[in-house]
Amino acid sequence: MPYADVIAGHSFEALAADPSRAEDPLETLIAQVNRLATLLLRQYYPDKAYAYFGEFLRHVRVISLQDLEPVLEERLTKGEMRALRQLDLLVQGQLREADKPTDLFLAVEVSAVVDANDVARAQHRATLLRKAGFRAIPVAAGDEATEGAQATARQQAVLLMQDGLTYNWEEALADALAA
């Protein structure tokens, strides 16, 4: 079976017999391309963490949740730990515009097309880090963002990074510093 048929999950013969099914393979292909783009971005963001977050933070470094595990396990439930382990990227640094060194963590969810669910996951995981005693800012990052993602990010004070542009930094920072 040709590769394009395998990707779409349908044979061309089946599509010729029932043309009304033609949208399904296209939607499937688009979804698969978006998943592939998301996987690539999840590898790209850690490599370029300073480029993306250096505007806001000094001493930017990507860290593993394993480095924080003893403290996290002490302060979070098993269910909360399970949710936090799904975090795409954890970045640590010091607030660039501060009178005294202020450590911050960025709970980053990465998706090719950021939607409201990505924003909500970033918010939830930053909340878990805050519960464990870390000053955390939720971040939803990707090449594009839906209108729902943009609205939710504004409402929930989540830093939205879209194709290299940032939105809601001041609100997200104020929310993290008030927590």
The mean predicted confidence, pLDDT, of the chain is: 89
- Please check the confidence at residue 136 and state whether its pLDDT lies above 50: yes
Residues 31 and 100 in one domain: no
Angle 65-75/78-85 helices, nearest 10 degrees? Answer: 160
Residues 79 and 137 in one domain: yes
pLDDT digits 0-9 by tens, 66-107: 999 999 999 999 999 999 999 999 999 999 988 888 899 999
Residues 163 and 128 in one domain: yes
Residues 62 and 9 in one domain: no
| Domain span at 73 | 48-178
- Please check the confidence at residue 162 and state whether its pLDDT lies above 50: yes
Q: What's the CA gap between 118 and 149, in Å, rounded?
A: 8
Q: How confident is the model at residue 25 (pLDDT cuts 50, 70, 90)?
A: confident
Q: What is the CATH number of the domain that holds 88?
A: 3.40.1350
Q: How confident is the model at residue 17 (pLDDT cuts 50, 70, 90)?
A: low
Residues 81 and 135 in one domain: yes
Residues 84 and 52 in one domain: yes
- Please check the confidence at residue 13 and state whether its pLDDT lies above 80: no
- Please check the confidence at residue 132 and state whether its pLDDT lies above 50: yes
DSSP character at residue 136: E
Residues 19 and 64 in one domain: no
Buried b (16+ CB within 10 A) or exposed e, 6-26: eebebeeeebeeeeeeeeebe
